[in-house]
Chains A and B, each alone.
Chain A
Amino acid sequence: MKKKLIITFPPSKVENPLVHALIKDFDLWVNIHRAIIEPQKHGKIVVELRGDEDKIEKGIAYIVGEGINVNELERDVVIDKDKCVDCGVCTSICPTSALNLDKETYKIAIDYDECVVCGFCQETCPVNAITVNF
């Protein structure tokens, strides 16, 4: 199973060896898509986990138990469908082709498996319909 998450941790937890624990203690394959870690600021990592479903659940529970926030991408990369006009400008900007127009309806959808939370779409959208919380 695979899962993409945005992990947000307070400055006090910057030293927690999160990734090391996920790999070693929970036997998970970990890919870091994006990370911003600065002194005295909240750190954020976009990470993809692969492994057994129950081990992923336990890994997430461990992180949360450490007082660190975990969100699935769907919550942090959002298209406001009332604002979106389905123009499609975001689709050719997206570096991983995660944003696409449906071939039948010509409406926008995000493929969260491909999204790396780069935020280019948020900058490009002419009607501010995309929010990337990172």
Chain B
Amino acid sequence: MKNIRTYDEINNKIESGEAVVVTAEEIIGIVEEDGIKRAAEYVDVVTTGTFSPMCSSGIFLNFGHSDPPIRMQKILLNDVPAHGGLAAVDTYLGATSESLIDQRVGGSHVIEELVKGREVKLSATSKGTDCYPRTEINTWIDLNEVNDAIMYNPRNCYQNYNVAVNASGKSIKTYMGTLLPNLGNAHFSTSGQLSPLLNDPEFRTIGVGTRILLCGAQGYVSWNGTQHNPNVEEVNGHKMYFGGTISVMGDLKKMSPDLLRAAYLPGYGVSIFIGVGVPIPILNEDVMKNVSVRDEDIYTKVVDYSIQRRDKSVITYVNYGDLRAGHIEIDGMEVRASSISSYAKARDICNILKKDIGDGTFRLQEPIQDLPIDVKYNNLKVK
């Protein structure tokens, strides 16, 4: 497939204010009217976005040294444990780390407090050494005072998550929300036709180094995500892509509390809503074909979450057109469906990214390394 344009050409047009940028929703109508070939000739960039709970997220912090200094070993931020095995004053705070005093609150709430500019309580203890004699510290920090606050999310933007239902006789509380008994409801979690990894399902443009919008700030795809395992199956004549993930990073100090939000899933635990925007450069017609994907053409698996085993069988396949409309059919039964992923915010992110590219403040970055496609996926054996 011959390329129509290069990253350099796109960036030159961005600089001169001439780039044609549309969202992943707008491109659907454009392709319906003009066709793939014609649309690919004049559209330079399509913006994609998602705003969903992404549990595998967190931040690195560096506090700077106190006097006398401490080599922190046990660290608590607002009573939420953070990692104490990173030298003297570095730490990693995971979003799902639970508060020791209130399990409805955790790392994600601390992260949200920091982004909102509020103070957070820091408590740390240490065995003490000759060069780090201090054994205890209790103080308050905020985002301006810390040296570094780097968001690094090991697994984000899971490509095409399952639809969760509950076929048992009682309600269950899961990371996919509260699932009502006897197929009482169905929850899904993706922005579908706006989703970054469903608009570039074969990772032709998204790779290590791709510049993204992460919680409102410019960030990067840093690597493939953990458990990255891209797959494709055929369902109803459509390719169903699933399983890919990306890890992402960015500067927390530049992020917006509008596009990052702590969450508590009742009966399950703490999580965090992460907003990610990814621009797709229209390099050729294949890329245009992929970005014009519509909700009704994207299929996913419906899985029974009442099965408390790793492998849960697929009950049926549904498309995002039906899910978005609020009802799916399972065994002749109409089941109410709702999303945990905010379509409204995903749209906002697509529009913010479109504006930033249009303003010339966001340039596209060609990946410096492709993401692997052929990946072996392991389960954990109990030996």
Residues on A close to B: CB < 8 A? 85-93, 97, 100-101, 105-107, 123-124, 126-128
Contact = CB atoms under 8 A, between A and B. Distances in A.
A23 B271 CA distance: 49
6 contacts: A85-B273, A87-B342, A92-B185, A92-B336, A123-B266, A124-B266
Contacts of B51: 85, 87
Given A91-B326, A105-B344, A127 B339 contact: no
B335 to A, nearest CB: 9
Contacts of A89: 177, 187, 338-340
Contacts of B342: 85-88, 106
B134 interface: no
Contacts of B185: 92-93
Contacts of A85: 51, 261, 273, 342, 345
A25 to B, nearest CB: 41
Contact of B341 (A87, A91, A93): A87
Given A93-B178, A106-B347, A124-B178, A88 B340 contact: yes
Interface string B254-281: 0000000111111000010100000000
Contact of B264 (A87, A90, A126): A126
A126 B185 CA distance: 17
Most B Cβ at <10 Å: residue of A86, A100, A124, A126: A126
B264 to A, nearest CB: 6
Main SS of chain B's interface residues? Answer: strand
A126 B272 CA distance: 9
Contacts of B336: 91-92, 97
Contacts of B337: 92
A107 B51 CA distance: 14
Nearest to B345: A85
Contact of A88 (B180, B338, B347): B338
Nearest to A93: B178
A126 B326 contact: no
Given A91-B326, A92-B337, A126 B344 contact: no
Contacts of A101: 326, 338, 343-344
A95 B181 CA distance: 13
B53 interface: yes
B197 interface: no
* Most chain A CB within a 10 A radius of its CB, from B262, B266, B338: B338
Interface in B167-184: 177-178, 180
Interface string B322-341: 00001000000000111111
Interface in B96-122: none
B186 interface: yes
A123 B261 CA distance: 17
Contacts of B261: 85, 127
B377 to A, nearest CB: 29
A126 B265 contact: yes
B187 A127 contact: no
B340 A106 contact: no
B262 A127 contact: yes
A88 B346 CA distance: 13
